[in-house]
Amino acid sequence: MNRIRFHTLVLLTMSCVIGSQAMAGFQPPRTADGKADFSGVWQVLNTANDSLEAHNGRAAQVMREGPVVPVPAKELVSLGAVGAIPPGLGVVEGGEIPYKAEALAKREENRANWITADPEVRCFLPGIPRATYMPFPFQIVQNEDVLLFSYAYAGAVRNVALADPGPPPIDSWMGQSWARWEGDTLVIETTGQNDQSWFDRSGNYHSDQLKVTERFTHTSEHTLQYTATMEDPAVFTRPWTISMPLYRRVDADEQMLIFNCVEYVEEMMYGHLRKNPVE
């Protein structure tokens, strides 16, 4: 077992033990109907958006052959340390995503073409679960009648149904979500996502058959334990799960600001259509 995988398993085990101890004694805030209240602004503190699996640090997301060792792709050289990838212990239970052989080849193709292929680069909606662990906050608004998720990235939102609405009428970037309860754990099932979103910047992907089952559980006043289980028989050999803590933003003047990335990518996507394109 390599060192990164060993450390990943140790941290996941510690997280489960500590989370279980915290959950046993903590009474969460509640809405008027007695349900656990998850309202607030939340954010992750990990590198899952770079890669869900354990990964070493490197100079860029895409490398090429250099005179001695690999060097960043030419499009990324000028970013320097800003474009570097920090190491991460991974959030996948068991360590690796269980791809089918042909699907793994597609993941490697995605990874090699990240600069142009990742939908995040073009500010497309992130899908579920990626919206949760992007490096931006998101807000949950909840009462006895409403459960709404609003994301800083790209102004993404999802209005979570409080009863099973049946099959989604069409596929979409964020899919169709509905909630149920297991004690004080909020369980959200999402289906009907298109096959265009990725799980991370490392090319991990899914088909339009993806079903995501998320679980949110209070572990303290300012932390949640979050898990998401992915089922997609077209891409994976079995269901698999990611797990991580979420942290409440507690600044006195805390508010969620919007990252208007649609405007930020206009030059990249449409600048070549100008009568006189900018160099």
Query: What is the pTM (predicted TM-score) of this model?
Result: 0.88
Q: How far apart are CA 169 and CA 154, in angstroms?
A: 24
Q: What is the pLDDT of residue 143?
A: 93
pLDDT band at 254 (very low <50, low <70, confident <90, very high): confident
Q: What is the pLDDT of residue 150?
A: 97
Q: How far apart are CA 195 and CA 206, in angstroms?
A: 6
Q: How far apart are CA 73 and CA 92, in angstroms?
A: 28
CATH level 3 topology of 3-54+89-273: Lipocalin (2.40.128)
In tens, the pLDDT along 224-241 reads 999 999 999 999 999 999
Q: Is the dihedral of CA 121, 126, 130, 134 positive or negative?
A: positive
Going by C-alpha positions, the residue among 188, 231, 179, 225 that lies closest to residue 208 is: 231
Under a CB-based contact definition with an 8 Å cutoff, are residues 60 and 66 in contact? no
pLDDT band at 256 (very low <50, low <70, confident <90, very high): confident
How far is the first Cα of the chain from the last one, in angstroms, to the nearest whole number?
Answer: 50
- What is the residue type of 9? L
What is the arithmetic mean of pLDDT over 165-181?
96
